[in-house]
Structure 1
Amino acid sequence: MNRDFFSAEKVNGNITAIRSACGEIMYLIEGDNKAVLMDTNLGVKGLRKLVDTITDKEYEVVITHGHLDHALGVPEFSDKNVYMNHKDIPLYQSMLPFAERDGYIHANLGDAFDEYGITNNDYVEEVPEFDFKELHDGMVFDLGGVTVEIYAYPGHTKGTMVLLIPELGILITGDACNKSTFLFDRICSSVTEYRQTTVNLRDRLSGRYDKVYICHHDMEVGKDILNEMIDVCDDILGGNTIDRPMPFMGVMGYLAKEADDHFNRIDGKSANLIYNKDKIL
């Protein structure tokens, strides 16, 4: 490659945000004794090397869900404990064909693709039977002075998980709840199911965080995003949405609330859904 695909930014004394050239954000969370890396991106080589320059602590890897932009880099960490909800293993395996990731990167980098000079040799190997350890609701990673709690938040995928760092008051919702949550694929929950899941998580974590981080482009969103997402679901169920067509990789979804080209809602709120009209109830 001609340019580094990954870059790092210190967020606070415990968290480093690692960004890909395509705009995804991973998080390295460090305690006094250990660390956790959240997600591994698209399987472009170099992530492992960067992480190992940021921390000298022993670390484990947590994959929030099986989509290609979060899980395909795991082969670089085969000597580590790598956790993912096993419900998403079939999804991970379906993402492995080279054309999937190459098409995604081309689409996201556009004309800049040639500037990076990415070749076939810059991708990690495909490992269909990767040894994922089970990531389940209620798991706690004790890093020393800082803990990472795991909560199930299905909807975007069957096995989507979110991370809470209670000592820092930070909830990382990733793709589970963000400015343009994808809820239109065949594997996604209906809007009604997703609404109830969001209500359940909101009630479980009430009062335990005052910051929310996501995994695409902008790092921090409004702390009321869960309540806002419930309102979005209610508006879809009530027919109070703009329903802007949003085709993505051959699938059609509909954007619920008016937003700009960077998915910033016009009314200043954070939560938004791209949903499937055939999967509302």
Structure 2
Amino acid sequence: MKHRVFALDDHTWRIQEYDDQICVYMYLLEGEREAALIDTGMGMIDLRNLAESLTQKPLKVLNTHGHFDHARGNSAFDCSFIHEEDIPVYRAYCGGELQTFFPQYSFPAPTDRLAAMHDGDVFDLGGRTLQIIHTPGHTVGSVCILDRERRWLFTGDTCCKADVLLNLPYAASVEQYRNSMARLQRLRSCYDITWPAHHQVPVRPEILDQFLQAAQLLCGKQAEGDSLNTVFGPCKRFAIGEIAVVY
């Protein structure tokens, strides 16, 4: 695995972990007292030393969800916060149950040093406040993280400018995802830009309009996706605009 670091401002960095098959973004946010690392990636780079080379502030780890490409690096840290509903997701994806789907990678061992976080939790880094927003969809415990002062929304895999995958084990229903998108829409006055974990960055929040419309059409039986076969079994994909919902 390779990595690159991009400075978003003097106190924020995007860390990219990648190879020829996968590319994932992690974000390091520094406040006056503490710093927060959003996601830990595949665990195949020396992420802790890298983060500590960028900030000398005490570091918290916040997982957007429990998939192996977002939380496998947790074992390098003393404790990682993850939504309570995604702790079983972390154990399944990072503990070996789904390892057979990714035989090309040799992952670090998982950790039990997890702390449950909940919808509405706030992490005050000192002059920089992070709010946890529970957005079930891609997983049942997926969260977005609102950086209140900068008016940035870190979205994990909830709404990249690409397909959202609701067909994986431990994913929520299309109906739950629709409700998550509607909730993010109600919070639109709080953020100006979104920072997803894959694909194009940053992404204008108008992309949420397409996800919400797609989910509403599917829930209202006004649309149906095309059939697909995947390693996780048969599913359907409904595309609209620049995105698609796979369910």
TM-score range, shorter chain: 0.7 to 0.9
Instruction: Tell me, yes or no, if structure 1 residue 48 matches structure 2 residue 48.
Output: yes
Match of 1:169 in 2: 151
* DSSP 3-state at the match of 1:256: strand
Aligned-partner residue type, residue 68 of structure 1: F
* DSSP 3-state at the match of 2:113: coil
Q: Cα–Cα, structure 1 residues 135 and 217, in superposed 2: closer, same or farther, change >3 Å?
A: same
Match of 2:71 in 1: 71
Instruction: Tell me, yes or no, if structure 1 residue 251 matches structure 2 residue 233.
Output: yes
TM-score, structure 1 as length reference: 0.78
Whole-Å Cα distance in 1 between the matches of residues 204 and 226 of structure 2? 23
Match of 1:93 in 2: 91
Instruction: Tell me, yes or no, if structure 1 residue 221 matches structure 2 residue 203.
Output: yes
Give the one of 125, 129, 134 matched to 2:116: 134
Q: Is contact 2:64–2:155 with CA below 8 Å preserved after alignment?
A: no
Q: Which 4+ runs in 1 deviate beyond 6 A?
A: none
How far is the alpha carbon of 1:7 from its aligned partner? 1.7
RMSD between aligned alpha carbons?
Answer: 2.3
How far is the alpha carbon of 1:98 from its aligned partner? 5.6
Match of 2:59 in 1: 59
Q: Is contact 2:31–2:127 with CA below 8 Å preserved after alignment?
A: yes
Match of 1:261 in 2: none
Q: Is contact 2:17–2:45 with CA below 8 Å preserved after alignment?
A: no
How far is the alpha carbon of 1:256 from its aligned partner? 1.1
Count the aligned residue pairs: 242
Whole-Å Cα distance in 1 between the matches of residues 10 and 157 of structure 2? 24
Q: Cα–Cα, structure 1 residues 37 and 246, in superposed 2: closer, same or farther, change >3 Å?
A: farther
- Which ranges of structure 1 fall in alignment gaps of 5 or more residues? 107-117, 259-266, 276-281
How far is the alpha carbon of 1:17 from its aligned partner? 0.5
Q: Name the larger-Rg structure.
A: 1
How far is the alpha carbon of 1:103 from its aligned partner? 5.1
Give the one of 8, 12, 16 matched to 1:11: 8
Q: Cα–Cα, structure 1 residues 247 and 17, in superposed 2: closer, same or farther, change >3 Å?
A: farther
Whole-Å Cα distance in 2 between the matches of residues 139 and 273 of structure 1? 28
Aligned-partner residue type, residue 88 of structure 2: P
Write out aligned runs for 1:199-238 (5 A).
199-203=182-186, 205-236=187-218, 237-238=220-221
CA-to-aligned-CA distance 1:28-59 (integer Å, 9 cap, x gap): 01112211000111221411121121111111
- Which ranges of structure 2 fall in alignment gaps of 5 or more residues? none
After TM superposition, the structure 1 stretch with the greater mean CA deviation from structure 2, 81-90 or 94-103, is 94-103
Whole-Å Cα distance in 1 between the matches of residues 193 and 103 of structure 2? 30
Q: Is contact 1:45–1:124 with CA below 8 Å preserved after alignment?
A: no
Q: Is contact 2:83–2:141 with CA below 8 Å preserved after alignment?
A: yes
CA-to-aligned-CA distance 1:58-102 (integer Å, 9 cap, x gap): 11000111111111111100x2x4211121122211123569558
